[in-house]
């Protein structure tokens, strides 16, 4: 299984560097020299990229990959997600931190135990994270904050939600 660790925002300079929006708490590990990532754009085949160098650049990372030959090649990767194998991820130390792939597929239930749906994915937006629940074939976005999702029990395969009025209407 793979998990997103970044998204290529654009090409940087003329040598083929990639400006990457980071989606991991451990960029020093995920973008270390020699790390192999998978670049995937919707509707295109996946491409393996080996990190040759990376450095901070404001809120982004500038990443040079062995397989990217120049600006045009880098520009063709604009918008691609950079994926890492979940087997390569270190365990989380904080009991309130989870990898996205650990939450996908969990049963969601209300605090009274009534089934609410299934976690389809974690959606990352600038203001935080949302759980996208499949509720009888429709998506319901639930803010992933302690007040609304007080319990996450990966081992039991469930999350408990306490939504505000109107969220499921």
Please tell me the predicted confidence (pLDDT) of residue 57: 92
Per the model's pLDDT, the better-predicted residue between 25 and 136 turns out to be: 136
pLDDT surpassing 80 at residue 31? yes
Please tell me the predicted confidence (pLDDT) of residue 158: 96
Give domain status of residue 95, yes or no. no
The CATH number of the domain holding residue 108 is 2.30.30.240
Whether residues 20 and 44 fall in one domain:
yes
Whether residues 64 and 122 fall in one domain:
no
Q: Which of 88, 119, 136 is the last residue of a domain?
A: 88
Q: How far is CA 88 from CA 4, 43, 62, 106, 164, in A?
A: 12, 26, 22, 22, 37
Whether residues 105 and 82 fall in one domain:
no
Give domain status of residue 50, yes or no. yes
Whether residues 121 and 82 fall in one domain:
no
Give domain status of residue 26, yes or no. yes
Range(s) of the domain holding residue 105: 100-161
Closest CA to 33 of 20, 16, 51, 60: 51
What's the domain count of the chain? 2
pLDDT band, very low/low/confident/very high, at 17 (cuts 50, 70, 90): very high
Ramachandran region of residue 66, left (φ > 0), alpha (ψ -120 to 50) or beta? alpha
Measured between alpha carbons, how far is 149 from 110 in angstroms, rounded to an integer?
9
Whether residues 49 and 105 fall in one domain:
no
Q: Which of 56, 88, 120 is the last residue of a domain?
A: 88
Please tell me the predicted confidence (pLDDT) of residue 119: 96
User: What is the pLDDT averaged over residues 81-108?
Assistant: 82
pLDDT surpassing 90 at residue 74? yes
Closest CA to 8 of 84, 83, 80: 80
Q: How far is CA 81 from CA 20, 28, 151, in A?
A: 9, 18, 29
pLDDT surpassing 80 at residue 86? no
Whether residues 19 and 82 fall in one domain:
yes
Q: How far is CA 37 from the centre of its chain?
A: 14
Give domain status of residue 167, yes or no. no
Give domain status of residue 168, yes or no. no
pLDDT band, very low/low/confident/very high, at 169 (cuts 50, 70, 90): confident
Q: Model's pTM, two decimal places?
A: 0.62
pLDDT band, very low/low/confident/very high, at 42 (cuts 50, 70, 90): confident
């Amino acid at each position: 299984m793979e998990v997103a660790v970044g998204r290529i925002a654009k090409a940087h300079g003329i040598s083929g560097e990639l400006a990457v929006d980071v989606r991991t708490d451990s960029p020093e590990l995920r973008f270390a020299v020699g790390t192999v990532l998978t670049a995937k754009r919707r509707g295109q085949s996946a491409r393996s990229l080996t990190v040759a160098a990376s450095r901070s650049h404001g809120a982004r990372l500038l990443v040079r990959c062995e397989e990217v030959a120049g600006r045009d090649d880098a520009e063709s990767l604009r918008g691609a997600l950079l994926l890492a194998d979940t087997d390569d991820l270190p365990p989380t130390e904080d009991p309130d931190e989870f990898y996205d792939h650990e939450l996908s597929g969990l049963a969601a239930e209300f605090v009274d135990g009534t089934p609410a749906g299934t976690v389809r994915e974690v959606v990352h937006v600038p203001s935080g994270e949302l759980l996208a629940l499949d509720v009888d074939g429709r998506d319901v976005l639930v803010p992933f904050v302690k007040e609304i999702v007080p319990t996450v029990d990966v081992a039991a395969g469930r999350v408990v939600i306490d939504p505000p009025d109107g969220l499921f209407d």
